[in-house]
Amino acid sequence: MAALWGGRFTEAADDRFKKFNDSLRFDYRLAKQDIIGSISWSRALEQVNVLSSQEQKSLESALNELAEEVAADPQKILQSDAEDIHSFVESKLIEKVGDLGKKLHTGRSRNDQVATDLKLWCKEQSAELCELIVRLQQALLDVAQREQSTVMPGYTHLQRAQPISFGHWCLAYVEMFDRDLSRMRDTTERLDRCPLGSGALAGTAYPIDRHALARDLGFKQATQNSLDAVSDRDHVVELLADASMSMMHLSRMAEDLIFYNSGEAGFIQLADNVTSGSSLMPQKKNPDSLELIRGKTGRVFGSLSGIMMTLKALPLAYNKDMQEDKEGLFDALDNWGDCLEMMAMVLDGLKTNKPRMLAAAQQGYANATELADYLVSKDIPFREAHHIVGEVVVSAISRQVALEDFTLEQLKEFSSVIESDVYQHLTIDACLAKREVLGGTSLTSVMSALEEQRIDVKKEPVAAEVVGSTTEGQVQNAMGTMQLRINAHKAELLNVRHAKLSDVDDITKIVNYWSDAGETLPRSRFDVLNSILDFSVAVSEDEIVGCASLYIYGTGLAEIRSVGINPEHQGAGQGRALIDHMLLRAQELELERVIVLTRVPDFFAKHGFTELEKELLPEKVIKDCEGCPKKEACDEIAMEFQIQ
C-alpha cells in the first residue's frame, strides 16, 4: 500500500523501518473513531463547498459501509499492510468510491486526526469504566447489606486494633471507588474538547465551523489553540493516573481479602470459580484472581510512568514519540476494566466465616480502648487512663486471659474507680454500639450509610413548627417543609427512588426529550452515567416515567437539575413527588439550601421556593451556565429553598 506521504521521497522505506514505524498493529482499535471523525469532517467540507452534497453523501455512505465491515471483524484490519489506521481507512474508502476518497483529507492532518480519534476512544472507554466502577460499588453494597452485623477485627499495622463490622469494611471501599468516579468525571470534563480542524499544527486553511464540528462529534466544545490541540496528551496521562489510583484501591482490597482468606485468618471463603489449585499439592485453593489484581496494579503504574517519561521535555507541536501514547493506555485501561469485573465476581461468590471472625475480634484485647474510655467517664484523664489500661493488658497477657475475664477485685488493683458496671463496656456489642458517629462502625451507623446509598421515599412524621423571630420567607420555607413531608406520603405510591445503573438509558431519553424541546440542558449518556448517584426516578408499573438530579456544590448548597417527566405520564403527580423527594434528600444530607433555575416558578413556589437574584448565585453555579445555548438570553428564574 502506498504511503500517505510518499511524494517527497525518491527511495522506498526499508522494510525494517516500516515495521518499526508502523502503528496499525495497535491503533487498529481506533477504526470506529477514525470513521466517525471522517464522516464529520466530510460534513464540514461540504459546508465550505470543498465537497458537493452528492459527494458528501457518497463518502458518508461508503464510510458507514466500512464501519459495518470493521465492526463485523476488527482483526481483519491487521491483514492490511497499511502504515496506520488512518491510511487503512483512506485506502479502503478509495477502493469504494475511487478518487473521491482522496478529497476527504483536504484541510486535515493525521496530527489532528489521531488526536480526535484518541479523545473519542477515551470518552467511550471512560463511560464503560465508570459503569464497571458503579457495578463494583453495587456488589460491595450488596455484601455490606448482608454482612452489616458480621463482627470482625479491624487492623492497624496488621495487628488487631478494634472490632468493626464486615459491612463497615465494604463501605470503606465504596468510598474509595466513589472518589475514583469523581476523578473520572473531572478527567472527562477536561478532555471533552475537539481538536479536529487544528491541522498539522497551525490550523486548517479552510473556514471550518469548528464549534459545529465539535458538536457533531459529541464534544462539548472545540479546542482553542492548534499547537496545543495536536500535541496535548494530558487526557492520556490523567486517565492513566485515574487508572493507577483505582488499581491501587483494588490492590489494597485484594490484599485485605487474600489475608482474610488465608488459613491464618480464615474469615472468608472464595468461590471455586475465582480460585485455582496446585499441580502438586491437592489440598490447595489459591486466590489467583486477587493475586493477579494485585500484580496487574504494577503494570498499570508502569504505563503511567512510561507516558510521563515519553512526554517529558517534548517540544511543540507533534512528535513521533507520541505514537507511544496508545499501547500503554490500551493495555492499562483493558487491565483496569478486567480487574474491576473480576473483583465484582469475587464479591459475588464470597462467603464469611462469622464464628471465626467474631472469635478473632474477641481476641487481641480489642476492647482495651473501651476500658480506657470507661476510666475517662470516671473522671480519670485519658493519658492516665491509657497508662492504666496498658498495665492491665500486660497483666492479661501474662495470665493469658481476656480483659473481661478479670474479676472485679483484680481490676480494682489497677484503679479503685472501676466498678461492676465496667463489664457492660467490655463486650463486643458495646464496642461497636459506641461508634455511632457519622462514618462509624456501629450497626446504626452502617445501616445509615447503606440508607445514604439506597434510600427510597419513606414516611415522615407530618409535623412542622415555626417559632421565634422569623421573616416571611422563612415562614414560607418552613411551611414548604411541612408540605413536602405531607406530599411525601402521597408520593409513596408513585414509587420515587434513587436511580440505578440500569436506569441510565431511560433517564437519558427523558432528559434529551426535554432538552430538544428547549426546556433543559442536554446531557449525554456518559454524563448521566457519571452522575447516576445524583439522580432519582419516578416509577410507574415498572416503567421509568420521570427523573431529577440533586447536584451538590459543597458548603451546604445543592441544585435540582434535569427535572423531566415522560410526556405520556404528565399530570399524575410525578413531578411534585420528585421535587419532594429531592428536598427530603437534601434535609437528610444536612444541606442548608437548594436552588433551581426554572421557567415554571409557580410550580416550585408551591414547594416553598422563593425567588432570588441570579447575581447572588455562587460563582460555581454561574460557571455551569457556560455550556447553555441560551446563556446570552437566559429566561430562567433563580429560586431557592432554605432547609429548616
| Active-site residue set | 157, 278
Query: How far from the centroid of its chain's Cα atoms is residue 498's Cα?
Result: 16
Nearest to 181 by CA among 506, 537, 533, 449: 533
Q: Give the phi and the psi of residue 11 in degrees, each rounded to 5.
A: -125, 150
**Do 188 and 526 touch, CB atoms closer than 8 A?**
yes
Beta strands in 356-433 (DSSP E): none
Whether the Cβ atoms of residue 355 and residue 145 lie closer than 8 Å to each other = no
The separation between the first and the last C-alpha atoms of the chain, rounded to the nearest angstrom, is: 72
Number of Cβ within a 10 Å radius of residue 283? 6
Q: Helix 53-72 to helix 31-47 angle, to the nearest 10 degrees?
A: 170
Helix (H) or strand (E) holding 545: strand 543-554
The whole-angstrom separation of Cα 534 and Cα 548 is: 8
Total residue length of the chain? 644
Cell, residue 312: 517529558
CA gyration radius, the chain: 31
Beta-bridge partners for 221? 193
Q: Can you name the residues that pair with 138 across neighbouring β-strands?
A: none
Q: For residue 493, give the DSSP letter.
A: G
SS3 content of the chain, % helix, strand, coil (to 5): 60, 10, 30
CA 466/CA 479 separation, integer angstroms: 8
Left if phi > 0, otherwise alpha if psi is -120 to 50, otherwise beta: which for 522? Answer: beta
